Amino acid sequence: MFDIRVIRESGDKIQSRLGDRGKGIDWDLLLKLDVERRDLLTQVEKKRHRRKTVLSEIGKLKCQGKPDDTKLLQEVEKLAEEIRAEEAGIKPIEDQLNDLLLRIPNIPHETVPSGENESHNEEFRRWGTPPQLTFSPVPHVELGESLDILDFKRATRMSGSRFTIYKGAGAQLERALMNYMLDLHTQNHGYLEVIPPYLVNRAGMTGTGQLPKFESDLFYIASDDFFLIPTAEVSVTNIHREEILDSADLPLRYVAGTPCFRREAGSYGKDTRGLIRQHQFNKVELVSFTNPEESYDELDRLLIDVETVLQQLGLHYRVVTLCSGDMGFSAAKTYDVEVWMPVQGVFREISSCSNFEAFQARRARIKFRGTDGKTDFVHTLNGSGVAIGRTVVAILETFQQKDGSVLIPKALHPYMGGIDKIEKR
């Protein structure tokens, strides 16, 4: 979200930096509403001031036991009426202005490549090599079913498409990954583990940028006006909503392993089979709150923390810098980490690490107090560290053996109760 004052002063600059992302925004209307609002506000405030003055005069007379001054009473009554009418005129203007502001996406950082879609993303670095298999790899769906660790059919029966039952070693693998990642980030990388709510209210969803624009992507509980979180980013970032943090406490780093719920509206026909795109999936999420001048260092750090997971698991991946057109609404800069999927022979997103700068902080009113006593908005960042379901896919497909079994990466052994291989039961 942008400060209307900044748009007022340097709207042209913002417009040009937004580029294609700023298409469809009515800048003239924005500025017109801003002027209208301030004019009306000035008028009302003058009248309120006059009213206050008159009221205190009336009060003084009362206290002195003097008779009422009808002239003053009349003036106050007239002012009250005018104020009420003018205030009523301001409200819709403010609402409209606010709604427009909430629908402007964040400005890409200057280091973000410009481009319309993912074909313009830039590879930033690459780690490892694709596994050299002596046979043609089996897709994780068939592998999971033949090992009896994934059950898509029965899940569909009770919940529809894009749901899965994990069974036996499959469930254990999912749980092992979650615990391994949480331990890594808390013990080695200094994040504080939290288990946040999975249901949040409208204000929370607006704070991180899901609302008002992307309501159709969310599962909604109408009876209580709750939304299911599409990512722990929402609840963890909202931990500090409407707070003023102490600059000395920054950066604040949190990690949460939670289920995520996404309607996947508009993705019909995409990744319909398997674990890749689910309505419910588990993810370990990293969230940082930093001082503004430190946020890009923090993004680098966050990215490395995420990459450590894949390196320890021995999964081939690459990091891409998203171009302006492929970035999410709230992000100023995003690195996607893409893991190698041997069956499809492509890299698939397994983590997304973003710096939102002050975009979310402004919406959620998360500030810090500097040593000079002044307050300013923090910068927020987050990254998946990493998506569990897709990690399961990568492990199954990368470490599968000719006999249909799957080797478990060493890093997970302590979490798998001594098993180092998943075999048919």
Residues with catalytic function: 262, 277, 349, 352, 390
Tell me the pairing of strands 165-166 and 192-193: unpaired
Of 52-60, 127-135, 259-267, 398-406, which segment contacts RNA by CB under 7 A? Answer: 52-60
Q: Does 45 bind RNA (CB under 7 A)?
A: yes
CB of 49 to RNA, least distance (A): 4
Name which position in 14, 31, 55, 411 contacts RNA (CB under 7 A): 55
Cβ distance to RNA smaller for residue 48 or 126: 48
Binders of RNA among 237-276, rule CB under 7 A?
Answer: 244
CB of 101 to RNA, least distance (A): 12
Name which position in 17, 48, 241, 277 contacts RNA (CB under 7 A): 48
Q: Which amino acid is at 424?
A: K
Q: Does 13 bind RNA (CB under 7 A)?
A: no
Name which position in 13, 62, 273, 410 contacts RNA (CB under 7 A): 62
Name which position in 146, 272, 344, 375 contacts RNA (CB under 7 A): 375
CB of 380 to RNA, least distance (A): 16
Per rule CB under 7 A, count of chain residues that contact RNA: 27
| Residues 165, 149: Cα–Cα separation, whole Å | 8
Q: Does 73 bind RNA (CB under 7 A)?
A: yes
Q: Are 301 and 91 in contact (CB under 8 A)?
A: no
Cβ distance to RNA smaller for residue 242 or 271: 242
Q: Does 59 bind RNA (CB under 7 A)?
A: yes
Give the distance, in angstroms, between the CA of residue 415 and the centroid of all CA atoms in the same chain: 29
Name which position in 24, 67, 345, 373 contacts RNA (CB under 7 A): 373
Q: How many CB atoms lie within 10 A of CB 260?
A: 23
Name which position in 13, 32, 49, 125 contacts RNA (CB under 7 A): 49
| Residues 115, 321: Cα–Cα separation, whole Å | 11
Binders of RNA among 352-371, rule CB under 7 A?
Answer: 367, 369
Of 44-52, 122-130, 203-211, 405-413, which segment contacts RNA by CB under 7 A? Answer: 44-52
Q: Does 182 bind RNA (CB under 7 A)?
A: no
CB of 378 to RNA, least distance (A): 12
Q: Does 304 bind RNA (CB under 7 A)?
A: no
CB of 29 to RNA, least distance (A): 17
Of 72-80, 116-124, 331-339, 397-405, which segment contacts RNA by CB under 7 A? Answer: 72-80
Name which position in 56, 159, 267, 344 contacts RNA (CB under 7 A): 56
Q: Does 4 bind RNA (CB under 7 A)?
A: yes
CB of 203 to RNA, least distance (A): 10
Both tokens of 388, joined, read 């569990």
Q: Does 41 bind RNA (CB under 7 A)?
A: yes
Binders of RNA among 75-114, rule CB under 7 A?
Answer: 76-77, 80
Give the distance, in angstroms, between the CA of residue 309 and the centroid of all CA atoms in the same chain: 21
CB of 356 to RNA, least distance (A): 18
3-state secondary structure the chain: CCCHHHHHHHHHHHHHHHHHHHCCCCHHHHHHHHHHHHHHHHHHHHHHHHHHHHHHHHHHHHHCCCCCCHHHHHHHHHHHHHHHHHHHHHHHHHHHHHHHHHCCCCCCCCCCCCCCCHHHCEEEEEECCCCCCCCCCCCHHHHHHHCCCEEHHHHHHHHCCCCCEECCHHHHHHHHHHHHHHHHHHHHCCCEECCCCCEECHHHHHHHCCCCCCHHHCCEECCCCEEECCCHHHHHHHHHCCEEEEHHHCCEEEEEEEEEECCCCCCCCCCCCCCCCCCEEEEEEEEEEECHHHHHHHHHHHHHHHHHHHHHHCCCEEEEECCCCCCCCCCCEEEEEEEEECCCCEEEEEEEEEEEECHHHHHHCEEEECCCCCEEECEEEEEEEEEHHHHHHHHHHHCECCCCCEECCHHHHHHCCCCCEECCC
CB of 206 to RNA, least distance (A): 15
Of 16-24, 74-82, 184-192, 282-290, which segment contacts RNA by CB under 7 A? Answer: 74-82
Q: Which of 218, 232, 326 is nearest to 264 (CA)?
A: 218
Interface contacts to RNA, rule CB under 7 A? 3-5, 38, 41-42, 45-46, 48-49, 52-53, 55-56, 58-59, 62-63, 73, 76-77, 80, 244, 367, 369, 373, 375
